[in-house]
Structure 1
């Protein structure tokens, strides 16, 4: 009698265990009935199903990453740039995701990568290299995320974030780009040198003009002082002459003798009665 009860209880336990399933907090689930979706986007927690008739497929609800390989894209200048990008995405509609990809994450990543590359190709084709590298990267990201979300919704996924981690030149374009950049830098350097030389010439001209003015003022002041000194000397001489004219004449003659007979080898040829030697001739004076 006990065996049938134990068997029945065991069967009930097995039935309950096979009927119950748990969806993790980091997951979402879909319930099938004979392969047909009957319930989707099942929330985390304890749920039940009919064994054999129903089966359950779970999917991660966390943010997933797609780190694509660097790809070449053509700008509107018909030059290639190598772009390295990554995408943050999540499964937003499990039912649509399962129908479009069969629930295979690899298929989803491949299709999402193609969507992103098409979007990047479209964005870069409208811009120059300079705009793509420095000026409009944020606009590229915004436009790409908006347009790629529209296509990604068909897969049942949502784009959380898109980032271009690196933009580089292709090997063919690198040398020509570097030459153009070098030429531009040289042009800027030459322009700066020319401006510097012009400024230097202007400063030099101003300094020369100021120096000439200063020298002229100094010469004028010196001549004025010299004139004042000569006038003063003349006054002194005149005053001395007026006091004792003969002594003044005698002193001036001695000065003339001293200056004219400085060197012992000097020879002077003059008439004996010359006025120059009058103080030698007249001893009484």
Structure 2
């Protein structure tokens, strides 16, 4: 038993040295192999690797994936019109040079993000300060992002960082100018609405005037046509009267006198002051005057 104890201790030491000399590099990480505090090797391919046990060599892992920096609060940026905008952005970045990155930041991703956020703010100011609100929001939005990407990528390269993409997620007016902007927009919409109402009123007056003109023309034409028809009717009636009068003048006089009597004495309260000897009462004095025979055609038979 006493002989086996040293063997077990030696075996445990050997296993410990073996485990401390083996390390695994995954697909998501870089591995920096340090030898007495100096970077000896940068390993980017996944696999099983060997090293000397500590303290002779040790391994530090860095993230190989694309990382995201999101601004915790929207950045307040001023445009060329001296208007403040709140811009919310995010940046995609990755470690391109693990050795340089470690030398710069000591492998601290948090320190790298803070440094990159400061550079992003500077790039945002540089791109937005020379543009108007309209340019930033609509016309030059892609150019702004391209300029920020180029600016930050150029400054991040000496840090061992690659900037993959920059995006502006949200652009808003600062609260102190939002009300004035809304009031100006409301005034502009009101002006456009009043202009459209004026145009509509003018068009309405034009349509009504044209309709009135057409109405007058139609009424005039209808009146002229009615007068023509009435004149033709009166002429035809006169011809009929003349023809009837020519066939039996005495009967025609008698018939007209009856019509005059009916009109004059249509109401019991009517009063007529006339000389009894006038011709108006000739048929009252002589109700059976001598009349020639009335043709059947004249009597309407």
Question: TM-score, normalised on structure 2?
Answer: 0.85
CA-CA distance at 1:114 after TM superposition: 1.0
Whether 1:175 aligns to 2:199 is: no
Instruction: Name the structure 2 match of 1:164.
Output: 168
Q: What SS does the corresponding residue of 1:284 show, helix, strand or coil?
A: coil
Instruction: Name the structure 1 match of 2:95.
Output: 91
CA-CA distance at 1:42 after TM superposition: 2.3
Instruction: Name the structure 1 match of 2:296.
Output: none
TM alignment of 1:236-247, pairs within 5 A = 236-247=240-251
CA-CA distance at 1:116 after TM superposition: 1.1
Output the CA distance in 2 between the equivalents of 1:249 and 1:38.
148
Choose which of 22, 25, 28 in structure 2 pairs with 1:26.
Answer: 28
List 4+ stretches of structure 1 deviating above 4 A.
1-12
Specify the structure having the higher radius of gyration (Cα): 2
CA-CA distance at 1:273 after TM superposition: 2.9
Instruction: Name the structure 2 match of 1:263.
Output: 267
Unaligned runs of 5+ in 2: 290-301
Change (3 A) 1:146 1:231: farther
Change (3 A) 1:260 1:161: farther
CA-CA distance at 1:21 after TM superposition: 0.8
Output the CA distance in 1 between the equivalents of 2:13 and 2:144.
61
Q: What SS does the corresponding residue of 1:160 show, helix, strand or coil?
A: strand
TM alignment of 1:1-285, pairs within 5 A = 10-51=12-53, 52-68=55-71, 69-285=73-289
Change (3 A) 1:129 1:226: same
CA-CA distance at 1:228 after TM superposition: 2.4
Output the CA distance in 1 between the equivalents of 2:43 and 2:251.
136
CA-CA distance at 1:58 after TM superposition: 0.8
Residues matched between the structures, number: 285
Q: What SS does the corresponding residue of 1:86 show, helix, strand or coil?
A: strand
Question: TM-score, normalised on structure 1?
Answer: 0.90
Structure 1 range deviating more: 127-136 or 71-80:
127-136
Output the CA distance in 2 between the equivalents of 1:4 and 1:85.
64
